[in-house]
Structure formats: structure tokens, C-alpha cells
């Protein structure tokens, strides 16, 4: 009996070690090179002015990235994105952002996303903190529309850091939004939607961070720090 028990324990430990070793974590993504950005791809006005620069203040760890959106066309947005790897086998994802704003009133909202292309399908875990609606929304990639959640997302205070964490999965050909945590308060979403059909194959995992302009297109900056993505 002792031998059998020890055998099962060894099997369990081996399995746990395999799961741990299969994890991939990218730290300080905001400090990495090869970020790209666009405005037409962000929808709405599609005519924003945008820029990304490294900054020494404000910061949580000595260095942050400063993202900008501005212009004159109302409701124009700035989408910043980065390809992380060519992995098309991962099914579990944890995404974390820290952001700081001096003038939150200038923004109509922000979007955070991790996405993956598998086969010819694009799985998009897009989340939107809508300051206009004061709620979280998630993207239905199959039907190309936003779904309102009951989880609140109030406009943040100025001159303070905010932390958001997202848990999501790819399950049986579906995009599953599991949970959203805002400044330590966790909301379970448990929403399943279909992926977007691409029609071509380009295996990859990527993230994006989007700043949404308001009706007056007031210029504003967002500082981002300690961006982290884990998947397995």
C-alpha cells in the first residue's frame, strides 16, 4: 500500500512539474521593442494621433511606457499591439496591466486584449472598460459586437495606479472569458463566444492595449507598467 501511494504521489508531482514547465510568462512587455500601433484598425473615428515612449516617471519599477492618443476627429482611438510568440497550442491565459492617468476625464474608455490565431481562426479575449457606460464589456468575435457585462468599471481617479487582471481560456473551439479583477476586486464573467474566421493561417499569440478618445478628442496620456502575460 505504501509503495502504491508513493507511486501515485510521484506521478502527481511529475504531472505538476510538466504543467509548470509548460508555462510561458512574458514580463515587462511595455519595455519590449517591436510594439506597433494603428488608429484605423481601432475603429470609430480612425484618425487619432498616437505615440509610445519610455518614461522614468510615474513608474512602479523604475521604468514605464507612456502611451498617447490625441487629434481632432471625435471618438478616434489608438490601438497599441505586440506579437508575443508563434504558440498555437496554449489554452489558458493570464494577462495583467498596471496603468496610470493624470486626466481620466479625457478618456471614453480603455481596452485590454490577449489574442491567439489557431488554424484559420482568431480567438480574441478583448475587454473594454467603458467610462461612458461605467461597465465592462467583452468582444464577441464571431458576431463582431460588444457584450455588456454587469461588472462595474468606474472611471479611475487621476494620479493613481490601477491594476487589472484577466483570466481566459480557449475551450472546445470557443473563446471563454473567465474573470476580470480590477484593483483587487474579482468579477467572474464565465462568458463563451465564437472566434473570428480569418481565412488564412498565421499561428501567434499577441496582446493589445487601446486608448479610446472622447467626443471632444481631448489629448491624454496613459502610463503602463509591469505588463505580464502567462499562458500554457
Mean of the per-residue pLDDT values of the chain? 92
Considering the domain boundaries, does residue 60 fall inside one?
yes
CATH code at position 194: 2.60.120.200
* Residue at 8 is within a domain: no
Whether the upstream peptide bond of residue 58 has omega within 30° of 0, thus cis, is: yes
Whether 17 maps to a domain, the answer reads no
Is residue 20 in a domain?
Answer: no
Residue 109 and residue 153: Cα distance in Å, rounded?
Answer: 9
In this prediction, residue 198 carries a pLDDT of 95
Helix and strand tally (H, E) in the chain? 1, 16
Average pLDDT over residues 127-149: 98
Query: 0.85 exceeded by the pTM?
Result: yes
Is residue 19 assigned to a domain?
no
Confidence of residue 7 (pLDDT cuts 50, 70, 90): very low
Structural domain boundaries, residue 179 = 25-231
The tally of domains found in the chain comes to 1
Residue 67 to residue 82: CA distance in whole angstroms: 14
d(CA 212, CA 220): 10
- Flag whether pLDDT at 16 surpasses 60: no
14 occurs within a structural domain: no
Largest CA distance in the chain: 75
Q: Please determine, for residue 8, whether its predicted confidence score (pLDDT) is greater than 50.
A: no
Amino acid at each position: 500500500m505504501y509503495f502504491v501511494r508513493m507511486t501515485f504521489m510521484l506521478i502527481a508531482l511529475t504531472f505538476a512539474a510538466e504543467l509548470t514547465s509548460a508555462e510561458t510568462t512574458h514580463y515587462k512587455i511595455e519595455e519590449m521593442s517591436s510594439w506597433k500601433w494603428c488608429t484605423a484598425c481601432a475603429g470609430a473615428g480612425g484618425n487619432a494621433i498616437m505615440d509610445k515612449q519610455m518614461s522614468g516617471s510615474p513608474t512602479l519599477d523604475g521604468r514605464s511606457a507612456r502611451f498617447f492618443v490625441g487629434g481632432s476627429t471625435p471618438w478616434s482611438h489608438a490601438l497599441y499591439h505586440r506579437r508575443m510568440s508563434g504558440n498555437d497550442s496554449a489554452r489558458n491565459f493570464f494577462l495583467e496591466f498596471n496603468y496610470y492617468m493624470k486626466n481620466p476625464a479625457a478618456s471614453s474608455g480603455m481596452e485590454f486584449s490577449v489574442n491567439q490565431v489557431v488554424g484559420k481562426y482568431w480567438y480574441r479575449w478583448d475587454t473594454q472598460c467603458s467610462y461612458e457606460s461605467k461597465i465592462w464589456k467583452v468582444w464577441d468575435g464571431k458576431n463582431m459586437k460588444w457584450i455588456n457585462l454587469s461588472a462595474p468599471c468606474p472611471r479611475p481617479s487621476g494620479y493613481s495606479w490601477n491594476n487589472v487582471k484577466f483570466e481566459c481560456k480557449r475551450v472546445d473551439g470557443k473563446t471563454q472569458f473567465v474573470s476580470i479583477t480590477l484593483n483587487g476586486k474579482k468579477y467572474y464573467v464565465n462568458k463563451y463566444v465564437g472566434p473570428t474566421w480569418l481565412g488564412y493561417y498565421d499561428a501567434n499569440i499577441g496582446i493589445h492595449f487601446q486608448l479610446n478618445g472622447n467626443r471632444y478628442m481631448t489629448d491624454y496620456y496613459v502610463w503602463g507598467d509591469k505588463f505580464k502575460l502567462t499562458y500554457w
